[in-house]
Every structure is written in C-alpha cells, then in structure tokens.
C-alpha cells in the first residue's frame, strides 16, 4: 500500500487534463508493453493484436521513435524510448478542454497537424514529396490483391495535384511543385475540424460503493 512508482519529471510535461490516475494507467500499459523493462523498442509493439489490422501500423510505430516528435534537438530515429517519451507521444492525442482559449486551441491544432505531417514526411526534409505521398497511399492499400499499384499511384497523383492547386494556385507550364511544406499542409486543413477526430479520451473510473 503506497504510491505507485511513476517517475517524477513526467508530471511537469503534461499540463491540463491528464490526471495522475491516467498516468498510472499509461504506466501500467507501458510496463505491459515493455515486459517490465525501462524502455520500449519497436519489437514490443508486435504484441498488440488490434494493431495488426492497421495498414499504417509501420508509420504509427515509427512515429513513436521519431526524434522530431520526441521534441529532441537531433534528427532521425531513436532506438528505444522510456516512459517519459511514451507520454510525450501520447500527449499529441490529448482531447481538447473546455477552458482553452483561442491561442491554446491554435497551438493544439498545430501540434496535432505537425505530428501528422511527420508521419508523411519520412525523409525528414520538411516537405512531403510526391514519392512520399505515394508511399503512404500504397501502405494504406497494402495487402489487397484487387488493387494494383497503378491505382495507388493515380490516387496519390490526383491528391498531390489538388494540394498544389490549393497552395500555389495556378502553376506555369515550367513550374515544378516540389512538395507540401508544413505551411501548405496547414492551409489544406483550414476549416476542417480535426481536433475532435484526433484524440483519445480517457474514461473516469471512480471508487463506488457496492451494496448487496
């Protein structure tokens, strides 16, 4: 009977609505995934059956180890992450709170979109090129024998063209659209409400009296 062992610096990372109870839940989940080690590696995510279905499973797991998401100065991929890093990634999926003001909401939204942007931009150069976009589409459609590679390509090309038209307007015949930068990305998602779609909300589990 005592306070569970959650590392102290963690609580400073997460402001607002993440309670210590939720941190405990996540800590337990972390220990389950890491099999009681202090860090998680990519292989540990293999033990989740629900995740097997997900076509972009690779990208999601990758996102956990992406140093840009971990707010580290350097670039590239980390080999393993500890509980603090795990919580940092989880914080991208915080639901919005009632008491947020305009500026906070805006920052919130930008963070979530940045997370998504990193998922597309696999070579970390700050731009989503046609090839990178094609990769994502192919992954989403992977494993289905009925769809050929050509279809995946045409989808990607079509989407890229639309992106170009939104961001750059009419292009001249000799202009080449290099790739979607983060600003363009933000422009594309203006007006679409993603904050309510990209979050995981915890349920409140209190002690209640059992009466027989």
Partner 1 sequence: MEVVWAVGQVGAAWLALVFGLIIVPSALGISLGISEAYMWVLVKTLEWATIRLQKGAKKPQPQMPRTPTANGIIERDETPMEKEISLLHRADFEFSHIFYFCRKGFEAIVEDEVTQRFSSEELLSWNLLTRTNVNFHYISLRLTVVWVIGVIVRYCFLLPLRFTLAAIGIMSMIVGTTAVGQLPNGRVKNYLSEVVHLTCSRILVRALSGTIRYHNKENRPQKGGICVANHTSPIDAIILTNDGCYAMVGQVHGGLMGIIQRATVKACPHVWFERSEIKDRHLVTKRLREHVADKSKLPILIFPEGTCINNTSVMMFKKGSFEIGGTIYPVAIKYDPQFGDAFWNSSKYNIVSYLLRIMTSWAIVCNVWYLPPMVRKEDEDAVQFANRVRSAIARQGGLTELPWDGGLKRAKVKDTFKEEQQKNYSKMLVRNGSVG
84 binds partner 1, rule: CB under 8 A:
no
How many Cβ atoms from other residues are within 10 Å of residue 185's Cβ?
Answer: 19
The distance of closest approach from Cβ of residue 182 to partner 1 in the complex, given in angstroms and rounded to an integer, is 13
Q: Which parts of 147-176 interact with partner 1 (CB under 8 A)? A: 147, 151, 154-155, 158-159, 162
Instruction: Please give the C-alpha separations between residue 181 and each of 71, 121, 125, 167, 207, in angstroms, as whole numbers.
Output: 19, 9, 9, 10, 49
Q: Which is nearer to partner 1, 105 or 194 (CB)?
A: 194
- Residue 131 main-chain phi, psi, to 5 deg: -65, -45
Q: Which of 124, 144, 149, 178 binds partner 1 (CB under 8 A)?
A: 144
How far is it, in rounded angstroms, from Cα 170 to Cα 183? 18
How far is it, in rounded angstroms, from Cα 93 to Cα 47? 22
How many Cβ atoms from other residues are within 10 Å of residue 30's Cβ?
Answer: 23
The 93-132 contact track toward partner 1, x by CB under 8 A, reads x----------------------x--x-------------
Q: How far is CA 117 from the centre of its chain?
A: 9
78 binds partner 1, rule: CB under 8 A:
no
Instruction: Please give the C-alpha separations between residue 166 and each of 72, 102, 111, in angstroms, as whole numbers.
Output: 32, 25, 22
13 binds partner 1, rule: CB under 8 A:
no
- Residue 111 main-chain phi, psi, to 5 deg: -65, -45
194 binds partner 1, rule: CB under 8 A:
yes
45 binds partner 1, rule: CB under 8 A:
yes
Could you identify the residue written with the tokens 């038209």? 165
Q: Which is nearer to partner 1, 5 or 173 (CB)?
A: 5
Site for partner 1, rule CB under 8 A: 1-4, 17, 19, 21-22, 24-26, 28-29, 32-33, 45-57, 60, 90, 93, 116, 119, 136-137, 140-144, 146-147, 151, 154-155, 158-159, 162, 188-189, 192, 194, 197-212
């Amino acid at each position: 009977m005592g306070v569970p062992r959650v590392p102290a610096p963690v609580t400073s990372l997460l402001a607002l609505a993440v309670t210590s109870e939720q941190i405990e839940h996540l800590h337990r989940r972390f220990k389950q995934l890491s099999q009681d080690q202090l860090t998680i590696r990519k292989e540990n995510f293999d033990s989740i059956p629900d995740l097997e279905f997900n076509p972009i499973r690779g990208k999601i797991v990758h996102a956990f180890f992406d140093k840009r998401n971990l707010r580290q100065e350097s670039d590239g991929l980390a080999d393993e992450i500890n509980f603090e890093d795990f919580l940092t990634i989880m914080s991208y999926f915080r639901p919005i709170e009632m008491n947020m003001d305009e500026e906070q909401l805006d920052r919130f939204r930008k963070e979530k979109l940045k997370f998504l942007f990193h998922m597309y931009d696999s070579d970390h150069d700050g731009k989503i090129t046609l090839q990178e976009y094609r990769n994502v589409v192919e992954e989403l459609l992977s494993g289905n024998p009925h769809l050929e590679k050509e279809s995946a390509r045409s989808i990607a090309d079509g989407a890229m063209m639309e992106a170009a038209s939104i961001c750059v307007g009419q292009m001249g015949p000799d202009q080449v659209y290099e790739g979607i930068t983060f600003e363009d990305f933000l422009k594309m998602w203006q007006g679409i409400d993603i904050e309510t779609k990209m979050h995981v909300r915890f349920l409140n589990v209190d002690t209640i009296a059992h009466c027989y």
